[in-house]
Amino acid sequence: MFTTVFWNIDSLRDLENDDREFGRLLSQLCIEHNVDIAVLIECRIPVGQVLEAFQPRDMYTMIPSQEKFAVIARFDSRFMERLVPPLSSYRTDYWHLNLPLQKSAIISAIHGPDRRNNSPAKQELFFQQVATNISWAERQVGHSRSIVFGDFNSNPFESPMGSLSGMHAVSSRSIAGKISRSCYNVDYPFFYNPMWSLLGDFRSGDSPPGTYYHDGSNPHEFYWHMLDQVLLRPELCERLRPNGLRIITKIGDQSLLTRSGIPDRSSASDHLPVLFTLDLRENC
């Protein structure tokens, strides 16, 4: 099993918390869930300082990335080769994961344009470029086992995520299994978005209705948003195991939520981390 956790920790830049304290929290998260890759989004803490809090110190190593991200892994960096696509951006990064006895995969980390300063049409254009880069990477490595995750700054049901001119990510494995759909004689490949299954209430466990909470003043407010998501190409859909996707609300004895049940930015972040596990074994 291959486990990844990602977390937008932007609010930490305004906190007086010691960097080592956050490193300790991340270390505990990685140990508790047997994490293979951890990706921090909008991390202002130097990766070296984060790693200093890990015990044992050499458990994880740094993976080269854009400054927007901090990436650590439980294996040597030579197994995660960085890819540089034609439409590069500081908001995205791409790697070719090629571990022994595992199916190789393309991994992409995302921090989408923010919702307040960018229209849905502009977000959609950004994700169209991301989709183009993923298709380029798939041609380079010769397969379509692609995983895209991060803070998209858009909900699963909004146009930048669902439109074929955006990420073209759907809620159904069976629809994603059709591989692509054609529009004006152009084929657009699908992504499967399992985050749909975590939207709203009445799920087992203590999972909240989203990963980010905003109590705004618009006439139509969602309050809970699922901005942090993981997308899979159809070839990987069946490798996401049951209960292999969750929103993390507690690390050790520390809750990441306030008493009212929303993300506690005073102690951690205004986003909640997302964890997912894929079976990438070669013989699976």
Nearest to 194 by CA among 233, 251, 144, 143: 233
- What is the C-alpha to C-alpha distance for residues 1 and 38, in angstroms, rounded to an integer? 15
pLDDT of residue 205: 62
- Percent of the chain scored above 70 by pLDDT? 94
pLDDT of residue 22: 82
pLDDT band at 207 (very low <50, low <70, confident <90, very high): confident
DSSP for 74-108 reads SS-GGGEEEE--TT--TTEEEEEE--TTB--EEEE
| pLDDT higher than 90, residue 7 | yes
Mean pLDDT of 4-8: 95
Mean pLDDT of 112-129: 90
pLDDT of residue 67: 87
CATH homologous superfamily of 2-278: Endonuclease/exonuclease/phosphatase (3.60.10.10)
Burial of 11 (0-12, 13-18, 19+ CB in 10 A): middle
pTM of the model: 0.92
Q: Which amino acid, residue 148?
A: V
Instruction: Give residue-wise pLDDT tens across range 29-58.
Output: 999 999 999 999 998 888 888 888 887 777
Q: At 133, is the secondary structure helix, strand, or coil?
A: helix
Nearest to 6 by CA among 221, 237, 230, 212: 230
Helices (H), the chain: 19-32, 47-52, 120-141, 159-162, 173-176
| pLDDT higher than 80, residue 252 | yes
